[in-house]
Chains A and B, each alone.
Chain A
C-alpha cells in the first residue's frame, strides 16, 4: 500500500522563524516528490517538487529529499502569517498519479 505519513499538527511557529515540515513515504519506487500548500476551502497550490536526493531551494522554501531514509521535508525561512495553511506532501511512482498525505497544519503567529 502506498502511504504518506505527515504529522497533522498544528505546528505553531512565530513570525520570522523557520518552519520545518516532515513527511515519510513507504513506496521505495517513488520517483517524484511534491509539496503543495492548501488554504482552508481552497485548492492545493504547488510549492516545490524534487526528484533527486539533496536540497532544492526556491526563495524562502527549501525541499530536502533522502530516498534511503524515505524522507522528504520542507523548510520555510522567515515564516509569515500568510504562510499559515495546510501543507500536503505527495509522491509519485507512476509519473502522474500523486499519493498525498493528509497534510500538516502550520500556524505562523505574529
Chain B
C-alpha cells in the first residue's frame, strides 16, 4: 500500500511563474490536507479538502493560492505569480476520515529564484 505521493519532490520557479504541486493520498483515504513549512518555522495548516470540496481553507493566503481535489486525480495546490517568500516545503497529508491521525507525504520543496 503506497503512502501519500507528492510530486515533484523539488520545484524551482522564477518570480512571477506559477507553481503546481500534486498530491495523491493513500489508498482508501478521502481527506487531504496541505501544510507549509517555512525555514526555521513549524508546519502551518493551509487547507483541508475532500473530493470536490474545500472544507477549510482558513490557513491559505487569500491571494495567489488555490487548492482543489477533483473527483478523479490528485489534489493540486496552485501558487500563482510566485514570490521569494513562497519558498518552503509543502507537505500533503491524508486520512481515511476526519478525527483520524494523518499521514504525510515526502513533501515538495519549492524554491523561487
Query: Are B42 and A44 within 8 A (Cβ)?
Result: no
Query: Are B42 and A96 within 8 A (Cβ)?
Result: no
Query: Do A88 and B104 form a contact, CB below 8 Å, given A44-B91, A95-B99, A97-B33?
Result: no
In the complex, chain B residues whose CB is within 8 Å of the CB of A90? 43
B49 to chain A, nearest CB (A): 10
Q: Which residues from 68 to 110 on chain A have a C-beta closer than 8 Å to any C-beta of chain B?
A: 88, 90, 94-103
Complex CA distance for A53 and B85, rounded to whole angstroms: 40
Query: Are B33 and A42 within 8 A (Cβ)?
Result: no
Query: Do A95 and B42 form a contact, CB below 8 Å, given A43-B106, A43-B107, A46-B103?
Result: no
Number of interface residues of B (CB under 8 A): 25
8 Å CB contact of A98 from B40, B45, B106 = B45
Number of interface residues of A (CB under 8 A): 22
8 Å CB contact of A100 from B44, B58, B103 = B44
Complex CA distance for A42 and B101, rounded to whole angstroms: 18
Complex CA distance for A98 and B99, rounded to whole angstroms: 11
Query: Do A42 and B106 form a contact, CB below 8 Å, given A49-B101, A95-B99, A97-B56?
Result: yes
Q: List 16 A-B contacts (CB under 8 A).
A: A32-B99, A36-B104, A42-B106, A44-B91, A46-B101, A88-B42, A90-B43, A96-B31, A96-B55, A96-B98, A96-B99, A97-B33, A97-B58, A98-B45, A98-B102, A102-B42
